[in-house]
Amino acid sequence: MKKLNVGLIGAGFMGKAHSLAYVAMPMFFWPAPAIPVRRSIVDINDSVAAEAAQRFGFEKSSSDWRSVVEDPEIDIIDIATPNHLHAEIAIAAAAAGKHIISEKPLARSGEEAKTMYDAVKNAGIVHMVAFNYRRTPAVALAKKYIDEGALGDILNFRGTYLQDWSADPDGPLSWRFQKSIAGSGSLGDIGTHVVDMARYLCGEITQVNTQLKTWVKTRPLQAGGVDKLGASTKDSTAPRGEVDVDDEVLSLLEFQNGAIGSLEATRNAHGRNNFLTFEIHGTLGSVYFNYERRDELQVAFAADQSDRKGFRTVYTGPAHPYGEGLWPIPALGIGYGETKIIETYDFIKAIMEGGEVSPNFKDGYQINLIADAMAASSQSRSWTQVQLVK
């Protein structure tokens, strides 16, 4: 069976998730399209990288991502660094002819994302941006119902992404609160996951009317680069630095097909963890999904007999998207790991079949443009057109 050598750059939270997916993918999807080999892992210095290699099962380690990108043995470059490095690494990887999977958001802005899309467009490589939540089987099932027409014409999309890890004002000023590294705050970090869901399920977004807010204006400076998502030891006596990104985004949406919608995202919502939800209403029915109950899709159909109308729960399993590779009984439990395993499967399959995969860098670029339009709308306090990628 064909083997593909992976160079993984960034051994933090996503380094762990992607490493797990490379090992597990062939165990779930067999015969695998190819076997990913954990060849080289990169992090900020030699000892951190060497430890990561041991922990995540890579053959080699390095503190120099360029040497891995240029290594002729490497087939795939996997970008799992903070956002400010995505573009430089991806452009170098495209020039070296490597297939690329980059974490989300693709870039810090539409302008930066365009440089990445331009680099991969004619490079003859497969490129993917890792908005993995759409690969939750219940989300793919919602898409199937919509594509089959079971919900009729789509009227409304209502999406949220609510977390609480940044609600504490003494949580450290990690890279996610610095515009120069992250690009934006909740908007780019988690709002873009909702935008990916919205586009996947309901089509292109053409106009937005948005409000951004920064509730916590300064935070204690953080030693070290890894973002522990609010879990680092707090030091309220440490010198504080300015937060120059948003904490919260609230937006109205207009879709190309005439549907309307809304999006809310914040990391300051006490009591919410990974509350990524959508409810979609169509002329023939509705669906509701909440990632905190990710085995379940709530569905309601207008054609149901009147004495049994209402939402019912479908637990995803073998009969549903990706069911052939996952667990043999519905509701055994889909986790974050499974979404990354499925993502890896679709990425490797596209490489082996010479095809395209979605979401790719074009989608990532479009999502960055939507985020830019949201930021501009918040500034101008008015409806703002989204620039559409041709």
| The one-letter amino acid at 88 | E
| Window 191-210: residues binding ligand SOE (CB under 6 A) | 193
Mark the segment that binds ligand SOE (CB under 6 A) among 92-100, 189-197, 301-309, 311-319: 189-197
Instruction: Name the residue nearer to ligand SOE (CB basis): 83 or 251.
Output: 83
Mark the segment that binds ligand SOE (CB under 6 A) among 69-77, 185-193, 360-368, 381-389: 185-193
- Going by the DSSP 8-state scheme, the letter that residue 256 receives in this structure is T
Residue 226 makes contact with ligand NAI by CB under 6 A: yes
Residue 190 makes contact with ligand SOE by CB under 6 A: yes
Q: How far apart are CA 179 and CA 185, in angstroms?
A: 8
Residue from 40, 109, 132, 268 in contact with ligand NAI (CB under 6 A)? 132
Mark the segment that binds ligand NAI (CB under 6 A) among 42-50, 93-101, 145-153, 212-220: 42-50
Kind plus residue range of the DSSP H or E element containing 198: helix 192-202
Q: How far apart are CA 12 and CA 306, in angstroms?
A: 51
Report the candidate in 267, 182, 168 with the shortest Cα–Cα distance to residue 218.
168
Report the candidate in 135, 169, 166, 138 with the shortest Cα–Cα distance to residue 273.
166
Q: For the chain, how big is the Rg over CA atoms in Å?
A: 21
294 binds, among ligand NAI, ligand SOE, none (CB under 5 to 8 A by kind): none
Q: How far apart are CA 121 and CA 123, in angstroms?
A: 6
- Going by the DSSP 8-state scheme, the letter that residue 166 receives in this structure is T
Residue 229 makes contact with ligand SOE by CB under 6 A: yes
Listed in sequence order, the residues at least 6 apart from 202 whose beta carbon sits closer than 8 Å to its beta carbon are 146, 154, 157, 255, 257, 259, 261, 280
Residue 13 makes contact with ligand NAI by CB under 6 A: yes
Residue from 43, 247, 295, 296 in contact with ligand NAI (CB under 6 A)? 43
Instruction: Name the residue nearer to ligand NAI (CB basis): 29 or 133.
Output: 133
Instruction: Give the angle subtended at the CA of 272 by the CAs of 270 and 275, to the nearest 5°.
Output: 150
Residue 189 makes contact with ligand SOE by CB under 6 A: yes
Residue 163 makes contact with ligand SOE by CB under 6 A: yes
Instruction: Name the residue nearer to ligand SOE (CB basis): 61 or 184.
Output: 184
Cis ω before 239 (30° cut-off from 0): no
Instruction: Give how many residues touch ligand NAI by CB under 6 A.
Output: 23
Mark the segment that binds ligand NAI (CB under 6 A) among 80-88, 146-154, 290-298, 303-311: 80-88
Give the Cβ contact number of residue 273 at 10 Å: 12
Please report, as ranges, the residues that interact with ligand SOE according to CB under 6 A: 163, 189-190, 193, 229, 267
Please report, as ranges, the residues that interact with ligand NAI according to CB under 6 A: 9-14, 42-44, 65, 80-83, 85, 103-104, 130, 132, 189, 225-227
